Each structure stands twice: as C-alpha cells, then as structure tokens.
Amino acid sequence: MEFAIIGGTGVYDVATTTRSELVKTPFGEVEVEVQNIQGKDIVFLARHGKKHSTPPHKINFRANMVALKELGVKYVYATAAVGSCNANFKPGEIVVFNDFLDFTKMRPVTLYDGQEGVIHTSMTDPYCQNLRRLFHLAAKEAGVKVAGEGTYVCTEGPRFETAAEIKMFQKMGGDVVGMTNVPEVVLAKELGLCYAAVGIITNWCTGLGEELDKEEILAAVERNKSFITNLFIKVFVQGNLSQEHCLCTKSLMRL
C-alpha cells in the first residue's frame, strides 16, 4: 500500500471494494479505509474521523502519519478546506500549496523529542515538488482549472480568524488559511513520505467578503472533492512515481 489520500471535510468513497483496517501506533490507534482501484490499493484517511467529529486542534496527527508509514505508504495527497485571503484565489476554486506559515500553538509538532538525539527537518520543499507537478499535469489533461500555487497559513482553531489576523497573514505572504495542514506536512517530511496538498477554497477570509454558513462550506467541498480525488487516483495508477525526483527522503539532519 504505497498510496494514501487524506481527506478533511467529507468522506471519500470512490470504489465498490472497501475494507477497514485498524493500525496501532505508539501514539494511538488509527482506522483507515483501503480501496482497490484499478489494481492499486489506496489508503483513505479521514482526518477528522469518519463522522467529522474531531476538531482541528484535537486531531492526532502523529498517529495518523505514523499509521500511513507503517502501512507502507510512500506517496500522500491531501485535501483541505480553506479560506482565501488572496484576491486571485476565489471561492469555488482550487489551489496547490507550495509553502506554509505555522501559527499553531499547542499541537505536538514532531516525532523527534530528543530520544534519538537532536534531529532537524529541512523545509526547503515542504510539499513534494514531484507530486505537485504530476497533479498539475493530471489536472491539465482532465481540463480541471487550478487557480495556482500559494502559501498556506495554519491556525490553531477551532475558532475562525479575526480580520486583523487576516490582514497580518496577507502582509506576511499568506494566500489561504486553514486549521489542519500543520503539523501534517511536517510529520510527512520527518517520515520520508512524499506529500502534497490541494486546497478547496470555500470562502473569503474574515473581513474580505460575506461569511458562508456550514451548508455552503460543505457544498463547496462536495463540488470539488470528487474530481480532485480522481486526479489523485489518476497520478497513483499511472505508475510514474519515484522518490528519486524530490527531496522528501532526504529531509532529516542529525546532529
């Protein structure tokens, strides 16, 4: 099982043959769905749980990512619902993350707390350049418009951001804002996984436009998640993946 898709809001069901697996890790148990699609076993992980019951600041990111590693996963695509603070990225569009700003406060953010010595993780290319490139190619072939690439701002949640915070994020170079991609992307690097994430823009950030209610946010995700998931699957089943074309397995520095 080399391939995984992490979903945020909503559940991903794209195959008729599905099995559940419970993976035990040092950080807790994780339940995943494994779907066989065109001969490939693809792991689907619901970030918030199947019933979307886990708030962003309570997600067990370390257990989730270690579970994928223990299943043999090497390549991970993820989706995330985001608000936009960039006028070029409009609600209803999708954006590929190429960098991040971390404004989380209380989350365990690493697998390396000193037990194995001092270990640093390079963030030269936090989102796998190869997976990003292949996603863009798959989207172009399918006629799916990608608004562009941008910097993801991760906040602690579960509250939304204030207008003043959004202005600050804009000045710092942020493009979209969410609550779940950090430390997920960092842990992927620590585990040597190729990881890329695509944002589904559901609304303008606070102070930039009308706020959407829950039903509108879920509807925006529903409109986009199916064809984004199909693009992920297309990349996986084409079999052109190699960890020799990126820096993902070379990110750790031991001192």
Query: Max Cα separation, the chain?
Result: 49
C-alpha distance from residue 234 to each of 25, 70, 91, 131 (Å): 30, 24, 25, 12
- What is the pTM (predicted TM-score) of this model? 0.92
Helix 129-142 and helix 214-238, axial crossing angle in degrees, nearest 10? 100
- pLDDT number for residue 56: 94
Nearest to 97 by CA among 113, 77, 111: 77
Which residues lie closer than 8 Å to 211 by C-beta, 6 or more apart? 203
- CB burial class (10 A; 0-12, 13-18, 19+) of residue 244? exposed
- pLDDT number for residue 255: 79
CB of 1 closer than 8 Å to CB of 43: yes
Which class is 3-254 in CATH?
Answer: alpha beta
Domain ranges in the chain are 3-254
Query: Residue 225 in 3-state DSSP?
Result: helix
Residue whose pair of structure tokens reads 């069901």 in the numeric block? 13
Binned average pLDDT, 10 residues per bin, the chain of 255 residues: 80 65 96 91 90 89 97 97 94 95 95 89 95 96 95 96 97 98 97 96 88 68 82 90 91 87
Q: What is the rounded distance in angstroms from the CA atom of residue 227 to the CA atom of residue 77? A: 13
Residue whose pair of structure tokens reads 């003043």 in the numeric block? 164
- pLDDT number for residue 10: 43
Q: What is the rounded distance in angstroms from the CA atom of residue 138 to the CA atom of residue 133? A: 9
